[in-house]
Structure 1
Amino acid sequence: MTQVSRRRFGAGAAAMAGALSLPGLSHAAACAMPDWALKLRADLEQMATDLTARLKPWSGPDLVATPEDHGYTTGLATQAIQAAIDDVARRGGGTVRLSKGDYVSGTIDLKSNIRFEVAKGARLLGSLDLNNYPERIAKRLTVQDTNMGMHQSLIFGEGLTNISICGHGEIDGRGSKENFPGLETIHGTPGRPFVIRIIDCQRIHIRDIALKDSPCWMQNYLNCDDLLIEHIKVENQVNFNNDGLDIDGCRHVIVRHCYISSGDDAMCFKGAAQSPGENILVEHCTFFTSCNAVKLGTDSQSLFRNVFVRHCLIGGVSEDMRRVKVVGADSGVAWKMVDGGTAENLLISDVKIIRARSPIFMRLEKRGRVKPGDPPAPIGTLRRVLFERIIGEDNGPRGSYFIGIPEKSIEDVVIRDFKVTQNPSTKPVLAETAIGEMYGQYPDPHMIDGIGDAPAYGLWARHIKGLTLIDYKVTPTGTDPRPEYVLKTNVSGVCL
């Protein structure tokens, strides 16, 4: 194990290499970006260009229908809204518009070639009667369906093409704990519908809409192709498991110019769909949370590749924001591979992290959750991860940490141009060896809170093959008793 403080780097590069005592370290190797990182940056910048050219807004016939055209006056609007959707779909597609006032509804089933618009001044309000949310069992069951019981939602679509949810109005799930009681859980969420669930669809466009107060997750897109989400505002701060946006096993995705404030994970990627999730661009967004601002996992059963997050503000909710949980985020960025699968080619650049107790967290473990009856999952892979031009303030005091397990290491991580201020720890300094491998613990960065803050204020790394730090600086706002770095095993290439 190597413990390093900033003072030990004052004598120059040669002294730096000696102080670290890491096998194979040289000044030239430490200061160079690995070839894979240079290629990754170029490839994902090209991917962003290609995605921007590929993904287009919804287009379809000019036909417009309203619930009022189908008999709606007052009361529950579900039947009239569904009649309008079905009628427009039979006629080849078009827009179903909620044009004015409030519409209370239970489950709405989208159809292909439908743009569902909630216009300015209109609101779609989720019914408070669970009987108005009949179950929609996915035709192709996934780990999420079988383990979480995700069978109820306000807006549902499966196996569709060319759909949109848009408008300058609001969709309010009215999902408070009083209206939809239930326990916080990593398993089933019975009696708490999602607001939006879209499965096995192509060409989806979500734009401009305000989404508020789901009883559970706000929106879930699973095994979809060509997904464009832009200019939406999400405030999901009313109940347990209040994720803001969950993208699971989707390909060719852009999320841009979105604002999300959520009690649980804000921007969350998953692999429970057991289909590849790849070629994803997230840009010019704000993600605030009490949990993880940008996260992969926990379900990670399939391939997750080519993800580019840039020009975003991420972190924790503040004291003066509407919130259902604590001030501050558990983490800014959290990559968690614990259920098999492979995550590779991940780039975070030009991001500001604020109010995150751990600015960055990475965990590779072997929980291995699968569908009932499926064979056990092998240990997953987390590799080729690049962070560039990251700034931040009012973070900590826990600190960033990356931990694999003895059976498998995280591979090839580069952090370049990282400048974050962090509140100092006031807890006693624990030896790194006092923290076990933590098998079976739920992989959120607070998993060590019962023991103490991370062993280093700058970075604690364990079981990593290929770690390169270039111009990496964490500055405590007061005296912190910990060393800046604790780098235990299989660490190569450090440059400050």
Structure 2
Amino acid sequence: MKLKSIILSLALLCFTGVFAKDYNASIFGIKSNGTTLNTTSIQKAIDLIHEEGGGHLNFYVGRYLTGTIELKSDVHIILHEGAILVGSTNIYDYNIETPNTALVYAKNADNISITGLGVIDGQGRDVAYSLLDQVHKGIINDQLKYDRPANRRPKGIYFRECRNVEISGITIKNTAEWVQVYDQCENLKIDKITVDSKAFWNNDGLDIVDCKDVLLTNSFIDSSDDAICFKSHDATKMCENVEVRNCVARSSASGIKFGTVTRGGYKNFKIINNKVYDTYRSAIAIQTPDGGVIENILIDSLNVYNTGNAIFLRIGERWAKNGVGSMNNITIQNVYAEIPATKPDAGYPYEGPIEDLPRNISPASIVGLPGHDITNVTLRNIEIVYPGGSNKTYAYRGIKPADLDGIPEMPDRYPEYSQWKELPAWGFYVRHAKNLTFENVTLTAKEKEYRPAIVFDDVKGATLKDMEYNFPGSGKKLFKYKSTEIIQK
């Protein structure tokens, strides 16, 4: 990772911030009463500060109602404690004809920031209902999915191709779609933010798309869709040189996720000392279904509580024209995870669906495709506690050749750890992998299991050292199937 580049760029951002001129929002006629629509006056302030060479636009205590505003180079918004930037509930106050409508938008801007102890409140549920009303009346044409608008819902923040970006201290809440998206940005710093966005469907907490040199630290993200999500939308770009430290995530989808869209890929990631809890799907999901390359990923010191799945690694082939991607050099270490018997996000405003049944609790999975192995994966100092108690009269998958061969490859399926329904292991299921290392891995099932702890199928070179299996009864610990070579130490 080019840490020197990040440090120099952030130092430059801080330097320009120290000597930039301060402007109070009120001098531009921006009202803090929560009812006056301030879009034009806020935009005038941003434009003037940009034209004058940059500076700080300060918002103090109050509610500042606005539609879409565009942040421009060298302009730094400071939301002081008690200041709330409030999204209009009228869908026509947003840039809905652009590909990525948002409350705060920026494109090709350098040296920009949103900082302070204030709040961005998107009022997303009301905004989405405003849009839905216009769709039902035939004024806006939108492809509804489950009677929910698929397009034109504004994000909280959308920055595209921006450089030297800082987001720190603020709370972002209640957006109508993805909370914040940073798309092909460079030198991005996000620190000490809070995301609370469970107001509507498809509310990713944080999406980092094809960005370079990213530092995400000390943040809390609670969202109804994926919490911390890395995407790659452009086959000529990658998400690379990314570090995530000291964050807490909760989601009614996945906690920390690579994908789903993975066209270019991801390279050089460090995800260290984080926590995932009350999360419906996977704590860590690393997947390439769209031809992207994934390499050099380190996940270290992860604590997982009340989450549907601990680890999911997957190669797929969803879009055949992009070919098959690859996954290489993945290290996951120092992980403690507790998987519940019940739905982990029950009671949250937007829960994950009850789907892919019947199945018992799914294992952690590493699943490539025939001829496209997941390679060089190390799992070190891992402890996963499962509820156990699988019932083979409810769902059954045996370990006879016909049973294992009957597990479909599903290359074009949207990748989820539960997509195969019942799997033949309760701890780990590994298929189409090469050069795999399990070191000091402890798997515990609290109640009896009819399935073995681990099943390997087409694993070309696996080294197992200091393994521990804890479960009642005398069930199988390890089962290896065809084309599998295992060294146990």
Above 0.5 in TM-score?
A: yes
Map 1:312-323 to 2 at 5 A: 312-316=274-278
Is the CA contact (8 Å cut-off) linking 2:217 and 2:245 kept in structure 1?
yes
Which residue in the other structure is 2:322 paired with? 377
Residue type of the partner of 1:484?
A: A
- In structure 2, distance between residues paired with 1:256 and 1:470: 28
Q: CA deviation at 1:482?
A: 1.5
Equivalents in 2 of 1:315, 1:183: separation in Å?
31
CA distance in 2, matches of 1:252, 1:184: 36
2:166–2:189 contact (8 Å) kept in structure 1: yes
Report the equivalent of 1:156: 105
- 1:161 Cα deviation after fit: 0.5
User: Does residue 485 of structure 1 match 2:449?
Assistant: no
Q: What CA deviation, in whole Å up to 9, does each residue of 1:79-132 have, x standing for no partner?
A: 111111111111110111221211111100001001112111111111111111
Question: Normalising by the residue count of structure 1, what TM-score does the alignment of the two structures yield?
Answer: 0.80
Select between 401-410 and 87-96 the one with higher mean Cα deviation: 401-410
Give 1:223-242 correspondences, 5 Å limit.
223-242=184-203
Q: CA deviation at 1:422?
A: 1.6
Structure 1 letter corresponding to 2:256: V
Contact preservation (8 Å) 1:390, 1:417 = yes
Q: Name 1:329's counterpart in structure 2.
A: 280
State the shift of 1:420 in Å: 1.8
1:12-411, aligned counterparts within 5 Å? 51=6, 55-56=10-11, 58=14, 59-60=16-17, 61-73=19-31, 75-135=36-96, 137=98, 150-176=99-125, 178-179=129-130, 181=132, 189-274=150-235, 275-316=237-278, 328-368=279-319, 376-395=321-340, 397-411=361-375
Give the structure 2 partner of residue 420 of structure 1. Answer: 384
Cα distance change of structure 1 residues 425 and 194 upon mapping to structure 2, 3 Å threshold: farther
Deviations 1:166-216 (A, max 9, x none): 11111011111545548569x983131111000001000000000001101
Q: Alpha carbons of 1:54 and 1:82: their partners in 2 closer, same or farther (altered >3 Å)? A: closer
Shift of 1:50: 7.4
The answer as to whether partners of 2:327 and 2:374 remain within 8 angstroms in 1 is yes
Within 2, Cα distance between the matches of 1:265 and 1:368? 22
| Matched-pair contact (CA < 8 Å) for 1:351–1:389 | yes
Do the aligned residues in 2 keep the contact of 1:180 with 1:215 (CA within 8 Å)?
A: no
**1:227-253 per-position Cα deviation (integer Å, ceiling 9, x unaligned):** 000000001111111100000111111
SS at match of 1:363: strand
Task: Please list every run of 5 or more consecutive structure 2 residues that lacks an aligned counterpart in the other structure.
Answer: 133-142, 342-360, 399-403, 468-489
What is the CA-CA distance between 1:53 and the residue it aligns to? 6.9
Contact conserved, 2:131 with 2:149, CA < 8 A, in 1? no
CA contact (8 A) 2:210 2:232 kept: yes
Match of 2:414 among 430, 439, 442: 442
Q: Which amino acid is the alignment partner of residue 111 of structure 2? A: N
1:131 is paired with a residue of what secondary structure? helix
Identity %: 28
User: Aligned with 1:298: secondary structure?
Assistant: strand
User: For residues 456-495 of structure 1, what are the structure 2 equivalents within 5 Å?
Assistant: 456-492=425-461, 493-495=463-465
1: CA distance, partners of 2:244 / 2:182: 15
> Contact 1:48 / 1:281 at 8 angstroms: preserved in 2?
no
Residues 1:103 and 1:349: Cα distance change in structure 2 (over 3 Å): same
Higher relative contact order (CA 8 A, sep 6+): 1
For 1:104 and 1:271, the matched residues in 2 are separated by: 33
How many pairs are equivalent? Answer: 418
> Structure 1: any 5+ residue segments left out of the alignment?
1-43, 138-149, 317-327, 370-375
Matched-pair contact (CA < 8 Å) for 1:66–1:81? no
1:136–1:283: structure 2 CA closer, same or farther, 3 Å change rule?
Answer: farther
Moved more, 81-90 or 68-77: 68-77
2:308 and 2:144 mapped to 1: Cα distance?
A: 25
**CA distance in structure 2 between the partners assigned to 1:410 and 1:300 by the alignment:** 15
Deviation at 1:444, TM superposition (A): 1.7
Q: In structure 2, the residue corresponding to 1:447 is in which secondary structure?
A: coil
Give the corresponding residue for 1:142: none
Q: CA RMSD in A?
A: 2.1
| Distance in structure 2 (CA, Å) of the matches to 1:170 and 1:183 | 30
TM-score by length of 2: 0.81
Q: C-alpha displacement at 1:136, in angstroms? A: 6.3
